[in-house]
């Protein structure tokens, strides 16, 4: 059976980008077609300046939202990364497989380290090695497919390289995974700056739709989205990035094609109104279910406990095999 692994980092409140780019595929397709594992990757949230209480709170919130979005514990395995030691155990072996040049070429490292330096902070070593831990997340589970948004494609490519290199040097140990991107909305852009990704850890929030935003806030953010100077509605990411972003969001919510939808509109106002309606329609049940689940934290804990138990069982044999393959002496 196909094995699927994916993760989400609790560095901020989940956004419409996370939902359309990743979580929706997990809910609608992945958990039904494969042995799927989904992880709140809390260790990854420690790679930048963080507040311990906030990371803890956001981890619980992310797990609760994944359930609210429709992940079913009977169909998939959901857990928190730091509850399963195999991730960090394997990560070190992969650090011994990767090169520092490879890490420095990662686009997210370049962007995030530049931002940290510009704001006078120091860059944590873990920000550089982040993609190695991500590779460990994936390889520990022998995942065949990794459903992600476009911004993670380079990290999955690196994971493939590391798996192939390790297998070549030490004998076949890892499955070589592939990234699976959604056909639309693989990169939802910020509504106020449609040339940058809608990111959950950005400081300026007026262009970001959060899954838990109140309905009137969502509507306001979409109605105020930056559009382009032309007056006609066309789907052209280069010339009209703001309009193209709205068309992609609308297409993703309604199942249409962005270019076809463009033909239906002759004003930006109507496009925004319909996009807001479609987003609200999609998010309403998620918000309602989230409120119900918040009233039952014991249920979320039980799901995560059982998930971690199963995850350990899946990961341990592969990680043990990697320890043996690389030349470490087994305990007596």
* Min separation Cβ 329 and ligand TYM, Å: 29
Q: Is 35 in the site for ligand TYM (CB under 6 A)?
A: no
Sheet holding 35-40, edge to edge: 76-80, 35-40, 3-8, 145-147, 178-180
SS (H, E, C) 208-231: CCECCCCHHHHHHHHHCCCCCCCC
CA gyration radius for the chain? 20
Q: Closest Cα to residue 108, out of 151, 157, 161?
A: 151
Nearer to ligand TYM, 63 or 148 (CB): 148
Among residues 178, 200, 221, 257, the one annotated as catalytic is 200
List the structure tokens of 147: 């459903």
Q: Is 106 in the site for ligand TYM (CB under 6 A)?
A: no
Q: Is 112 in the active site? A: yes
Q: Is 76 in the site for ligand TYM (CB under 6 A)?
A: no
Angle at which helices 241-254 and 268-294 pack, to 10 degrees? 50
* Min separation Cβ 9 and ligand TYM, Å: 3
Q: Is 6 in the site for ligand TYM (CB under 6 A)?
A: yes
Q: Is 272 in the active site? A: no
Distance CA 332, CA 330 (A): 6
Distance CA 138, CA 326 (A): 18
* Min separation Cβ 71 and ligand TYM, Å: 14
Q: Is 110 in the active site? A: no
Q: Is 134 in the site for ligand TYM (CB under 6 A)?
A: yes
Among residues 33, 110, 112, 257, the one annotated as catalytic is 112
Binding marks (x or -) toward ligand TYM, 141..180, rule CB under 6 A? -----x-xx-xx--x-------------------------
Distance CA 138, CA 140 (A): 6
Distance CA 106, CA 156 (A): 11
Which residues are near ligand TYM by CB under 6 A?
5-9, 17-18, 21-22, 41, 44, 134, 137-138, 146, 148-149, 151-152, 155, 186-188, 197-198
Positions annotated as catalytic residues are 112, 197, 200
As annotated, the binding site includes 9-11, 17-18, 137, 149-151, 188, 197-201
């Amino acid at each position: 059976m196909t094995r699927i692994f994916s993760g989400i980092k609790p560095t901020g409140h989940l956004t419409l980008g996370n939902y359309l780019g990743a979580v929706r595929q997990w809910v609608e397709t992945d958990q039904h077609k494969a042995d799927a594992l989904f992880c709140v990757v809390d260790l990854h949230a420690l790679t930048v300046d963080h507040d311990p209480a906030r990371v803890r709170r956001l981890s619980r919130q992310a797990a609760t939202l994944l359930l609210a979005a429709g992940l079913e514990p009977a169909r998939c395995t959901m857990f928190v990364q730091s509850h399963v030691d195999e991730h960090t155990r394997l990560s070190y072996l992969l650090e011994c497989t990767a090169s520092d040049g490879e890490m420095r070429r990662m686009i997210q490292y370049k962007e995030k380290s530049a931002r940290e330096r510009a704001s006078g902070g120091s860059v944590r070593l873990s920000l550089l090695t982040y993609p190695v831990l991500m590779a460990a997340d994936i390889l520990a589970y022998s995942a065949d497919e990794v459903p992600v948004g476009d911004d993670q494609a380079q990290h999955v490519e690196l994971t493939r390289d590391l798996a192939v290199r390790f297998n070549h040097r030490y004998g076949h140990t890892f499955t070589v995974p592939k990234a699976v991107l959604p056909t639309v909305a693989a990169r939802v852009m910020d509504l106020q700056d449609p040339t940058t990704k809608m990111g959950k850890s950005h400081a300026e929030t007026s262009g970001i739709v959060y899954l838990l935003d109140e309905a009137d806030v969502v509507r306001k953010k979409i109605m105020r989205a930056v559009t382009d100077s032309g007056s006609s509605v066309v789907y052209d990411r280069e010339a009209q990035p703001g309009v193209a972003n709205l068309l992609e969001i609308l297409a993703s919510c309604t199942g249409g094609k962005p270019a076809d939808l463009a033909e239906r509109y002759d004003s930006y106002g109507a496009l925004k109104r319909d996009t807001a309606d479609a987003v609200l329609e999609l998010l309403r049940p998620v918000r309602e279910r989230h409120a119900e689940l918040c009233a039952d934290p014991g249920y979320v804990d039980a799901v995560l406990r059982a998930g971690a138990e199963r995850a350990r069982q899946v990961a341990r044999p592969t990680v043990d095999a990697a320890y043996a393959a690389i030349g470490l002496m087994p305990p007596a």
